[in-house]
Amino acid sequence: MNLDSSVAAVVTGGASGLGAATARALAAKGVRVAIFDLNREAGEVLAAEIGGVFCDVNVTDEASVIAGFEKARAAHGQERVLVNCAGIAPAAKTVGKNRETGEPKAHDMALFEKAIAINLVGTFRCISKSAAGMATLDPVDAAGSREDGLRGAIVNTASVAAQDGQIGQAAYAASKGGVLAMTLPVARDLMNDGVRVNTILPGIFETPMIAGMPEPVQQALAAMVPFPKRLGKPEEYARLALFLIEHDYMNGESVRLDGAIRMGPK
Ligand SMILES: NC(=O)c1ccc[n+]([C@@H]2O[C@H](COP(=O)([O-])OP(=O)(O)OC[C@H]3O[C@@H](n4cnc5c(N)ncnc54)[C@H](O)[C@@H]3O)[C@@H](O)[C@H]2O)c1
């Protein structure tokens, strides 16, 4: 798919980190970008910067997602591109310790369910609603594409934790493993609608999610990366997201973007 001003896109979690970098990269190509996020303040600032539109969306809330797509489509027309970046990374062991008594403590189920609700169900909710709209579009007029019948492209964000989740990542890894597992069946479901679906499994990236960790922890994480020996940059994620959107033969694939890191138990 050619990315230019004829294309509208929705980026969830677009107010920060990987989503923000992707929103900027799409806008730099002329794409009309709608940012779906809980963070109104940052989202509105970025939308103003890139000439896009901010939609106050909680991906766990059906009505809010429906309203977000309505607002985005009213502003820019039906999107051909969806990038799912909204997510959280909670940490808790399957059996932890009660801080006061030191006794074994079962995982907080509300936290487990929250990770699944945002990272997995929220991603699927946006995919399904966006693809239903994409299916109504005419195929894109890019070289060769009209023949293919391509109407839209979707990129999801899982994590290397989907394959090598660490201690304390049961909920996170389960949610991201779900995103990884559904990539192929969703691509198959959408084959007659002309919508391609791919997923990125980022390693460790320099975003607010990671910047919140103490400096020594960040350095230890960077030292675990074989090469290049550093954290990934959000722009590097954005470059792969755009590649997956632009490359018409990429479909149903999940790609690690991680400097060859394989996460150990901790
Ligand atoms: N940074 C990393 O190293 C890394 C590694 C692997 C995977 N990921 C994944 O990449 C994605 C983006 O992460 P990031 O590092 O940019 O994090 P981030 O915290 O910088 O950005 C995430 C954005 O999602 C938004 N969000 C959270 N819950 C939401 C909800 N219910 N509805 C709408 N928006 C919501 C937040 O407000 C925030 O703006 C996440 O899914 C994360 O799990 C990140």
Instruction: Please answer whether residues 124 and 117 qualify as being in contact, where contact means their C-beta atoms are separated by less than 8 angstroms.
Output: no
Residue 257's pLDDT is 98
Residue 170, pLDDT above cutoff 80: yes
Residue 220's pLDDT is 83
Could you tell me where the DSSP H helices lie in 135-214? 145-148, 161-164, 170-189, 208-211
Residue 146, pLDDT above cutoff 90: no
Assess whether the C-beta atom of 57 lies below 6 angstroms from ligand 1. yes
CATH of domain 8-207+233-257: 3.40.50.720
Give the Å distance between the CA of 24 and the centre of ligand 1.
16
Mean pLDDT of the chain: 96
pTM of the model as a whole = 0.97
Give the Å distance between the CA of 207 and the centre of ligand 1.
9
Share of the chain above pLDDT 70, in %: 98
Nearest to 86 by CA among 107, 64, 70, 71: 64
Instruction: Please answer whether residues 155 and 198 qualify as being in contact, where contact means their C-beta atoms are separated by less than 8 angstroms.
Output: yes
Name the token pair of 166. Answer: 């660490």
Instruction: Please answer whether residues 155 and 200 qualify as being in contact, where contact means their C-beta atoms are separated by less than 8 angstroms.
Output: yes
Q: Whose CA is nearest to atom 30 of ligand 1?
A: 58
Q: Whose CA is nearest to atom 17 of ligand 1?
A: 209
Residue 144, pLDDT above cutoff 80: no
Residue 147, pLDDT above cutoff 90: no
Assess whether the C-beta atom of 130 lies below 6 angstroms from ligand 1. no
Assess whether the C-beta atom of 37 lies below 6 angstroms from ligand 1. yes
- 172 part of the active site: yes
Tell me the average pLDDT across 217-237.
93
Assess whether the C-beta atom of 59 lies below 6 angstroms from ligand 1. yes
110-119, 147-156, 204-213: least confidently modelled range: 204-213
Give the Å distance between the CA of 179 and the centre of ligand 1.
14
Residue 143's pLDDT is 59
Residue 102, pLDDT above cutoff 90: yes
Tell me the average pLDDT across 189-218.
92
Give the Å distance between the CA of 13 and the centre of ligand 1.
6
Residue 44, pLDDT above cutoff 90: yes
Q: Whose CA is nearest to atom 11 of ligand 1?
A: 85
Amino acid symbol at 27? A
Tell me which of 36, 69, 112, 172 is the catalytic residue. Answer: 172
Domain residue extents for the chain: 8-207+233-257
Assess whether the C-beta atom of 200 lies below 6 angstroms from ligand 1. no
Assess whether the C-beta atom of 202 lies below 6 angstroms from ligand 1. yes
Residue 145's pLDDT is 60
Tell me the average pLDDT across 94-107.
96
Residue 142's pLDDT is 60
Residue 205's pLDDT is 96
